[in-house]
Structure 1
Amino acid sequence: MTGLAFIFPGQGSQEIGMGKALTDAFPAARAVFDEVDAALDQNLSKLMWEGDLAELTMTANTQPALMAHSVAAMRALEAAFGVSASDALFVAGHSLGEYSALASAGAISLADTARLLRIRGNAMQGAVAAGEGAMAALLGADLAQAEAACEAGRATGGVCEIANDNAPGQLVLSGSKAAIDAACEHARANGVKKAMALNVSAPFHCSLMQPAADAMAAALADVTIHAPVVPVVANISATPTSDPGTIRQNLVDQVTGRVRWTESVQFMVARGVTATAEAGAGKVLTVMQRRIEKSLNGFTLGTPEDLEAFAAFIKGEAHV
């Protein structure tokens, strides 16, 4: 079988109707949504399939919703086609997707994962007063240009940090609004192709999120974490771990830390990964990885048709 990694999307991939086709086709997927609804004491699945996009996009709803779709895809893949996380070399997720990866690899129970993401969403939303924080994307910038922009931003006295290293030429800054504005101005004046503010509700993955990190440390202290069936490549380190204590600390640190996605993908490729399967909503990570490593074969696992095509690929590889 090919060198496989399952990857899991983060915030921004949500849409009304997400996961409904999986539920209609696979009882195992339906069971995931039922369990998440019960854990949250909320009809989250109804919101996902019939609700208002603005309500779904509220961070406290988006995070468990995306995780539910991802895990539903993985459970359906295993129940219907006999393919699971244990068939991969690694799992990895972007930001909240790291929780989806851990749930799919058996490290955290589905109910606990849903409750943790509800806490995480509320804590991240409440960490900074509305209007005080901002995020911006730098397109066409390298890390040195992004660091220089951050330095210019910090000269205002505010916080300005690299929040996401998503792919070559796609970096995201996070921090105080005035500092982010100054960083964008500096970037534009110094050859960066595009510096644009992002429509986000809070400045994620920067030191302003420390109150949310503290909340997650308290929440995670009460949760049982098992060793995952395969190593999880962590956002904060871009290296794999199966140690429950390290996983717990990584989940705290990633709230304020940089999502090192470029390095995570590069690490997995260097360790033999030749194909990825993005479980859940959309194909953001699959598109981004083309900028990181063109040789990677990328699949998405969001619909029944996706699962069938991927299973056919895996079974074909197994008989080569």
Structure 2
Amino acid sequence: MSVHAFVFPGQGSQSVGMGQGLHEAFPAAREVFQEVDDALGEHLSKLIFSGDATELTRTENAQPALMATSLATVRVIESEGGFSLVEKATVVAGHSLGEYSALAASGALGIAQTARLLRLRGLAMQEAVPAGEGGMAALLGVEVELAQEICNEASRAENEAGQITQEVIELANDNGGGQIVISGRLTAIERALTIAKGKGVKRAVLLPVSAPFHSSLMGPAAERMAEALERTEIRTPAIPVITNVTAAKNTDASRIAGLLVQQVTGSVRWRESVLAMAAMGVTSQIELGAGKVLTGLVRRIVPDMTARHAGTPEEIEALLRDL
């Protein structure tokens, strides 16, 4: 018998039209999208279903939009399956903003609460560093040790007087399968790309993002999230949530706010999180919502763990036959 983990995607998985099939077919999905629209005081669902892709990709829109699509998927599975998701799962987890989706799925946060927190998180992260000063890059075919070595070298900058200064460049995501994302000052990121090629890194590419997410440069955003989370009622999750910054499960409601604050500047330890699932006996990982990024990653981290995705009516129907 399979032991399931349900996981939730992060930024980059968004696409115009995601969740529209669920919205059209299921009242439970329509309720979720309406709740998010009401919480934000705008028709975010219209942007999700038929809006401009560039506008949807803006951080403050993409984050609540991805959560809405994931939670609409959860609610449809529950209403059509006649059970609560937590009855079928051993653990839940999410990549970056997906951790908020996981918390909402676990009952620790309400959907409206989560939408407002993610709107603030997106704005705060975007405003933490002036445009053009920060960046991120993906290093493919590297392990953590080499990526850290590249960051250490790239952090050294020489000023006009010939003095060596330090610039922020840090590991942002350990996604597994040799995929590491680095984040920091754009000048340091650009140096890292050159250094990586010199060290024989298979592929090193600048990512099309507008801010250095999951780096210490996000300190101002972390402060804003700390203030917001201090005012947020957080309940005990009905199921353990593996957190990004610890790669370990948590069920203590009093720790959730602090862990989410740390997450803004901390590294997303996804490879270790999937390994933690395997250590818990998980044999099946099911990604809920938009895209299939996490489904692809798990196959490289734990090849014998079954991985599947559900985000359309057809995928949900097939999933329910197997749960």
In the alignment, structure 1 segments of 5+ residues that lack a partner are 315-320
1:143 aligned partner, one-letter code = V
**Contact 1:153–1:160 under 8 Å retained in 2:** yes
**Contact 1:3–1:273 under 8 Å retained in 2:** yes
User: How well do the aligned residues superpose, as a CA RMSD in angstroms?
Assistant: 0.8
**What secondary structure does 2:138 align onto?**
strand
1:256 aligned partner, one-letter code = T
**Offset of 1:154 from its aligned partner?**
1.2
Does 1:131 find its partner at 2:132? yes
Does 1:75 find its partner at 2:84? no
Counterpart Cα distance in 2 of 1:276 and 1:168: 16
**Offset of 1:216 from its aligned partner?**
0.3
Aligned pairs for 1:1-320 (under 5 A) are 1-83=1-83, 84-156=85-157, 157-314=166-323
2:82 aligned partner, one-letter code = G
2:11 aligned partner, one-letter code = Q
**Offset of 1:235 from its aligned partner?**
0.3
Normalized against structure 2, the TM-score is what?
A: 0.96
Counterpart Cα distance in 2 of 1:101 and 1:68: 12
In the alignment, structure 2 segments of 5+ residues that lack a partner are 158-165
Counterpart Cα distance in 2 of 1:261 and 1:82: 31
Q: Tell me how many residue pairs correspond in the alignment.
A: 314
Counterpart Cα distance in 2 of 1:211 and 1:82: 43
1:208 aligned partner, one-letter code = L
Cα distance per residue 1:45-66 (max 9 Å; x no partner):
0111111011111100000000
**Offset of 1:86 from its aligned partner?**
3.1
Cα distance per residue 1:200-252 (max 9 Å; x no partner):
01110000000000000000001111111100000000000011121111100
Counterpart Cα distance in 1 of 2:98 and 2:145: 27
**What secondary structure does 2:87 align onto?**
helix
Counterpart Cα distance in 2 of 1:205 and 1:85: 29
Counterpart Cα distance in 1 of 2:153 and 2:86: 43
Cα distance per residue 1:255-289 (max 9 Å; x no partner):
00000000000000111100011010010000111
2:243 aligned partner, one-letter code = A
Could you list the structure 1 runs, at least 4 aligned residues long, displaced by more than 2 angstroms after superposition.
none
Q: What percent of counterpart residues are identical?
A: 54
- Residues 77-86 or 228-237, more deviating: 77-86
**Offset of 1:187 from its aligned partner?**
1.3
Counterpart Cα distance in 1 of 2:156 and 2:262: 25
**What secondary structure does 1:89 align onto?**
strand
**Contact 1:92–1:233 under 8 Å retained in 2:** yes
